[in-house]
Amino acid sequence: MDINLLVLNVGNSRLALGVFQAGELKHADHLDHAHQSNWPGAIRHAWEMIAKTSQPAIAGASVNPALNASIDTMVREITGLAVQWIGHDIDLPIKVCTDQPEKTGQDRILNIAAAHEQMGKACVVVDAGTAITIDVCNDNGDFLGGAIAPGLKLQLGALHDKTAALPSVSPAIPQTNIGRSTEQAILHGVYYGLRGLVKELVENYATELGTWPEIIATGGDAQLLFENWELIHAISPDLTLYGIALAYANHHIDHET
């Protein structure tokens, strides 16, 4: 479907924007919540890329509902159109097999939908952001569930904030096999702890599925954690944006609108 679409992904730490022109992602931007004054300009710039194309539209997904109303107002003032929200105006693009589908994070579902659309088989998505999620689907693309844990920066921050003497450590790739200082030991523990978490969970998923799934990584810390790691099939920074666009396209095809 050759859509002209502005997509918004409202996360816990960032607002991600994407512009699809004739079905292809032409522009992506990631804006920290701490700099919301920059959002109107970024939205206006993105909208101008498709405003004069055929049937432009706006779709969004959110795991931070407190921001939705203000984003709705901002978008309507800039574009004159309303945001079509996943789960409210737009159907989810895949079957969700968790115990409480309505409480499963939309970003997790959309990531899996986009990954399965590309892979066409059972796969795992590791989303390394504020939290790290490791989710899985079967060959049919059904979202089966997964795991949620504190992300890289959250773990490093907690060790400093919740102890009396442990120092603040910036995210980095360990350069030695053994941590020979307190700072190095913290970095080794968190960095390799997260990699070990991913490996252990994927092995569990493979046992359940009866096959080894392809693993796609996304999120702000994916490059730092997983670049050149043989376990990871690909790193896709804008996977959720593709998932939103897929949901929009499927919904309007299914409803013939």
- The 10s digit of each residue's pLDDT in 197-234 is 999 999 999 999 999 999 999 999 999 999 999 999 99
Taking each continuous run of H as one helix and of E as one strand, the counts in the chain are 7, 10
| Domain boundaries 5-85, corresponding CATH code | 3.30.420.40
| 56: its two tokens | 């432009």
Question: Whole-angstrom Cα distance, residue 77 to residue 87?
Answer: 23
pLDDT recorded at residue 256? 73
Domain limits, CATH 3.30.420.40, in the chain: 5-85, 101-241
Give the Å distances, CA to CA, from 87 to 3, 12, 13, 75, 247.
19, 18, 21, 19, 10
Q: 49 — phi, psi (to 5°)?
A: -70, -25
Give me the active site residues, please: 107
DSSP code for 167: P
DSSP code for 166: P
Question: Whole-angstrom Cα distance, residue 14 to residue 54?
Answer: 29
Q: How far is CA 151 from the centre of its chain?
A: 13
Q: How many other C-beta atoms are found inside a 10 Å radius of the C-beta of residue 43?
A: 23
Percent of the chain at pLDDT exceeding 90: 94
| 241: its two tokens | 């944006």
Give the Å distances, CA to CA, from 239 to 151, 173, 199, 230.
18, 23, 21, 20
- The 10s digit of each residue's pLDDT in 28-68 is 999 999 999 999 999 999 999 999 999 999 999 999 999 99
| 193: its two tokens | 């702890």
- pTM of the predicted structure, to 2 decimals: 0.94
pLDDT recorded at residue 1? 60
| 53: its two tokens | 């194309």
pLDDT recorded at residue 2? 82
Question: Whole-angstrom Cα distance, residue 102 to residue 143?
Answer: 13
Q: Which CATH class is domain 101-241?
A: alpha beta
| 48: its two tokens | 């101008």
Taking the CA atoms of the chain, what radius of gyration do you get in angstroms? Answer: 19
Report the phi/psi class of residue 145: left, alpha or beta, with left for phi > 0 and alpha for psi in -120 to 50. left
